[in-house]
Chains A and B, each alone.
Chain A
Amino acid sequence: MTTENKTVESIPAITIRFAGDSGDGMQLVGTRFTDTSAVFGNDLATLPAFPAEIRAPQGTIAGVSSFQVQIADFDILTPGDNPDVLVAMNPAALKAHLHDLAPNGMLILNEDAFDEKNITKAGYKVDPRESGELDGYRIFQVPMEKLTKEALEEFDLPGRAVLRSKNMIALGLISWTFNRPLEDTENWINAKFSKLPEIAKANVKALKTGYNFGITTEAFHHTYIVEKASLPPGEYTNINGNIGLSWGLIAAAEKANLGLFYGSYPITPASDILHELSKHKNFNVITFQAEDEIAAAAASVGASFTGKLAVTGTSGPGLALKSETISLALSAELPLVVVNVQRGGPSTGLPTKPEQSDLMFALYGRHGESPLPVVAAKSPSHAFYAAFEASRIALKYMTPVILLSDNYVATGSEPWNLPDTDGLKDLDTNIITKLNTEDGFLPFLRNVDTFARPWALPGTPGLEYRVGGLEKEEGTGNVSYDSANHQYMTDMRAWKVSNIANDIDQLEIHGDESADTIVLGWGSTYGGITQAVNRLNEKGVKVASAHFVHLNPFPDNTLEVISKFKQVIIPELNTGQLLKLIREAFLVDARGINKVAGEPFTAQELADKIEGIINE
């Protein structure tokens, strides 16, 4: 790789945001840069953001799609706060993202898109390049469309197909700027367009043209290098949360020696779990794309009754539709994992934006007294383990479990130090093949430790039994309207869930244990909170944090942890749901840091707010 005598500056980390029209291929450029950096050995985290519309009107703010990635030579937990580099493919992308760009940040503009029409469409009254509002940034104007056209002149391609390659100019230029080799992306292009060699060649040419533009143009004085991160040794892959979660389910089914059944109805941002699982039928995976959310859940209950690790997946509005069916699984005491990839609500809300506003719904969104365990994934790679854990609990305790993810975990990616799959523990089930009393089969005769009932599967002779949503008599499982029995069964279902607190990982304290203040979080705020606490500790502010994976029941030591601190702060991407739960359960005067803006917290935003509360 040559940089033609331009200076190479080594930097510890860089955050780059690619922004353009939905059709400009920004997600692709971001993913390619990410994968190349992953293979290079950086630590990284990504934040894709795209509109709910597939192709919103071109050139408008509504149609802007973006992809942010932070790469670093050290262990990072978030996709970065404010980007150091913004690539804006048109005026709308500039307008939508400029406010986030760090002071003195590098701004790379596709200058060919800055015509009067696009400038007006973006809502600018005057050309932003001339109004002074870009003062304070390092601006690089690149004629990406002109470069693309010139570079691809030799190919016999229609004009539209040519212009589609302009994202490769941007990727080539950024690859040069940050000293990333092109081979990985070249291989990727050739594989992707193996049946369209002209297109493959054209894209590779555009990529190289962008790279060479960096070398030759005088505007770029020097380049940057982010060295390999000193990550723990191991074999890594770059994983997003939806794929991690899917693989966690497959792993759980394997370790339980069961087939996997996934019932789902397409919904953003959970659909990729359905897509991923439907690829892996050779793992005995049955995917059922149902006629609606209810059928997806109901078929999963049928699969559970028949002996599958049954999972139904959705996002917020779909969880509402599944509510009655989850109650059936709860009442029939059948194992079921219910995945909710949260998005902005209520109603259709913000389908492509992250939010943590379904926590209360997960805990309480059912009729009747219907407690069930709730587990939350805290990062893309953790989604694998969270799915495994939710499955473990469902199978061991014969109960539906809600597994919460969110758009940030689901679509963001990070390097994952691959586990030794032999080290994943085998999962116990309650499958029964013989009578459990001398007098016959009692489908509700419970395990004395877990309170789980036996799981008799159709096809097993002698254990024929009927189960449903009507109240059941303890032991026999026969329909019972007896008042004392209903009291007992209601209490039993609650005990069964609260008893799980003995069987889950304890809450761990991170940061300064001698501090007076602890920050509690759950789900996707893990990276932001942990990084904020690290920064505060580094500058001498005493603060600790702890992160919940289990939201119901809370780990046994939660009270003990909270009692060590005078002050409890709870950041959440909602208006204060864990906050209410903690205040209610532990009678502490916890404070919330809350945001529902369709975007995650940045680490600095949290650090500032936490410090502000500590200093009050």
Chain B
Amino acid sequence: MSKVPVTYKRTDMQSDQEVKWCPGCGDYTILASVQNFMAEMGISKEKIVFVSGIGCAARFPYYMNTYGVHSIHGRAPAVATGVSVSNPDLSVWVVSGDGDALSIGGNHLIHALRKNVNIKILMFNNQIYGLTKGQYSPTSEEGKKTKSSPFGSVEMPLNPMSLALGAEATFVARSIDMDRDLTASILEEAKNHKGSAFVEIYQNCNVFNDKAFELLTSKETRVANKINLVHGEKTVFGEDGHKAVVIRNGIAEIVDTKDVDESEIYVHNIYEENPTTAFSLSRLSHGPYGPTPLGVFRKVERDSYTEDVHGQIDLAKEQKGEGELDKLIRSLGTWDVS
């Protein structure tokens, strides 16, 4: 990634298009966080590409004054893969939603993650289909009553963190729309990561699924329910840190801090090669319905697909020299007719 010492104002990152999300939508906050972050991330904007699929979140590229593709439903990781390998100098960002990334595009998501394509995937999870006006999504809770599930959803929802970790993702993190600082710090970590970064951002849909994340946002409850994962720090949360996370027999558990020896409290390590602990942390909550971990779950080094593809091309050129058409069309043997 070539970096130039450029800084912009937030307004430089804004396109001239009117933002058309519903008033009060969590997407506005995320857009502001991303624009602020990008203005200062040190990459000139012609090298930034936003790729999206379909859904409310997918309108995001239109509002960024960078290159952008608003593609088709679910396919953004695949489109972005084509962008990334075609020009490894680009900073490629995917914006997706829970339906786009986990339902219609589930296949592309897992394969982009396992290949470690050099793309950063921001999945806005509002646990609902917004643009189609309120059907349950793959992250909606069981029993959810919507237009398409009047008697309650009978489906087990996906846990996006568990899915990403299971798909061999090298960078997995979760934020929430209202926590701009956390979002900015995760974006910074993601930007510098080699390969795929998967960032779930809880996002309130105030029209079709309002207050879905209230437990994590309201003043009264958030302290008791936000488990902030910070590398190198003991994982304690709640009022005065009276709750803690411990790992027992490989399984993460929430305990009262006073009940355990301090040495037993889990010290977060995002660089742990084995994804088992990160996976276990992802199982602490299956949605924002109680104490929920936020922050970077995992960040490990692995060659990126983008680099490896170009490594092979460079090697082929080194070994065989630049391709020559005249040699190519004679490579199967020829004979002369006079």
Q: What residues make up the interface of A, taking CB atoms closer than 8 Å to B?
A: 35, 38-39, 41, 228-229, 231-239, 243, 247, 250-251, 254, 259, 261, 263, 280-286, 288, 290-292, 294-295, 298-308, 310, 324-325, 328, 332, 417-419, 421, 457-470, 478-479
Contact = CB atoms under 8 A, between A and B. Distances in A.
Nearest to B58: A468
Interface residues of B, number: 60
B78 A305 contact: no
A307 B72 CA distance: 20
B50 to A, nearest CB: 8
Contacts of B84: 302
Ranked nearest first, the 5 interchain pairs of A and B with the lowest CB-CB distance are A302-B82, A468-B70, A283-B323, A299-B82, A298-B78
A298 B337 contact: no
Contact of A237 (B62, B71, B313, B330): B330
A325 B69 contact: no
A261 B86 contact: yes
Contacts of B334: 235-237, 418
A460 B48 CA distance: 10
Contact of B72 (A284, A308, A328): A328
Given A295-B108, A302-B51, A307-B87, A418 B46 contact: no
Given A41-B337, A282-B313, A286-B85, A459 B78 contact: no
Interface string B51-95: 110000000011011111111100100111111111101100000
Nearest to B104: A294
Contacts of A254: 323, 325
Which of B17, B79, B330 has the most chain A CB atoms closer than 10 A to its own CB? B79
Contacts, number: 208
29 contacts: A38-B335, A234-B336, A236-B337, A243-B332, A247-B328, A282-B317, A282-B323, A283-B322, A286-B313, A294-B108, A295-B108, A299-B79, A301-B71, A301-B82, A302-B80, A303-B86, A305-B79, A305-B82, A306-B82, A306-B87, A325-B75, A332-B69, A458-B90, A464-B65, A466-B50, A468-B62, A469-B70, A469-B72, A479-B62
A237 B327 CA distance: 12
A330 to B, nearest CB: 12
A413 to B, nearest CB: 10
B41 to A, nearest CB: 16
A235 B335 CA distance: 6
Nearest to B338: A233
A288 B333 CA distance: 28
Contacts of A463: 46
Which one of B44, B49, B78, B315 has the highest number of Cβ atoms from chain A below 10 Å of its Cβ?
A: B78
Contacts of A238: 332-333
B45 interface: yes
Contacts of A229: 337
A35 B79 contact: no
Given A283-B322, A418-B330, A469-B72, 7 more contacts: A235-B335, A237-B332, A285-B323, A291-B107, A328-B72, A421-B326, A457-B87
